[in-house]
């Protein structure tokens, strides 16, 4: 069995926990660095009361905790399903180098999850979205951004 298959199998085994020991939906993910698994996650939305506890997010948080960092350069994610927009964002913010996935967002949709719908919503005008997003006055907020730009001793991420 090649490494890809072996790593993906581990992610899929984590997804299968939803059938026997459910903490959320049937999704699993692992993170690999230099051929070693450094983070694992399975969907834990319902037991953690955390709608952000998707498998990829859980694996990213686990890997970051294990490596004591908030950036996962040179790390690869294996996930049992194509990431939803939330996990897509988390992958970019954590600076993973590559993602391998098994099921697609269409498969997730067919199984009752909103992934594909959320992808479509992203491209709608703000006020036409199912959850409307409305701009308010930004005068005070943008002052903070300006002060942040001028700040010397900041940690970038």
For residues 77-116, which are near a copy of itself according to CB under 8 A? 80-104, 107-108, 110-112, 114
* Set 56, 82, 139, 150: catalytic member: 56
**Is residue 1 within the footprint of a copy of itself (CB under 8 A)?**
no
Does an H or E element contain 80, and which?
Answer: strand 75-81
Based on CB atoms, which residue is closest to a copy of itself, 25 or 32? 25
* Residue 92, token pair as written in the block: 């970019």
What's the rounded Cα separation, in Å, for the pair 152 and 157?
15
Based on CB atoms, which residue is closest to a copy of itself, 35 or 134? 134
Write the DSSP symbol of residue 16: H
**Is residue 120 within the footprint of a copy of itself (CB under 8 A)?**
no
Based on CB atoms, which residue is closest to a copy of itself, 34 or 95? 95
Binding to a copy of itself by CB under 8 A, coded x per residue (else -) over 26-55, reads: x------------------xx-xxxxx-x-
What's the rounded Cα separation, in Å, for the pair 55 and 119?
18
Concerning whether 150 is annotated as a catalytic residue, the answer is no
What's the rounded Cα separation, in Å, for the pair 51 and 53?
6
Strands (E) located in 3-113: 28-33, 36-42, 75-81, 98-103
For residue 59, the minimal CB distance to a copy of itself (Å) is 11
**Is residue 5 within the footprint of a copy of itself (CB under 8 A)?**
yes
Q: Of 2, 26, 31, give the one whose Cα is nearest residue 14.
A: 26
With CB under 8 A as the rule, give the number of residues binding a copy of itself: 91
Catalytic amino acids?
56
């Amino acid at each position: 069995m090649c490494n890809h298959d072996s790593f993906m199998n581990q992610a899929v085994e984590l997804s299968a926990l939803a059938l026997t020991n459910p903490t959320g939906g049937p999704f699993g993910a692992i993170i690999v660095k230099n051929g070693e698994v450094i983070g694992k996650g399975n969907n834990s939305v319902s037991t953690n009361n955390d709608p952000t506890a998707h498998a990829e997010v859980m694996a990213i948080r686990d890997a970051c905790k294990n490596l004591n960092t908030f950036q996962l350069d040179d790390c690869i994610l294996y996930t049992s399903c194509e990431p939803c927009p939330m996990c897509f964002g988390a992958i970019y913010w954590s600076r993973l180098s590559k993602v391998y996935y098994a099921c697609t967002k269409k498969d997730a949709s067919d199984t009752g999850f909103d992934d594909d719908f959320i992808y479509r919503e992203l491209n709608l005008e703000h006020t036409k979205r199912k959850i409307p997003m409305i701009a308010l006055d930004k005068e005070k907020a943008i002052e903070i951004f300006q002060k942040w730009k001028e700040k010397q001793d900041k940690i970038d991420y």
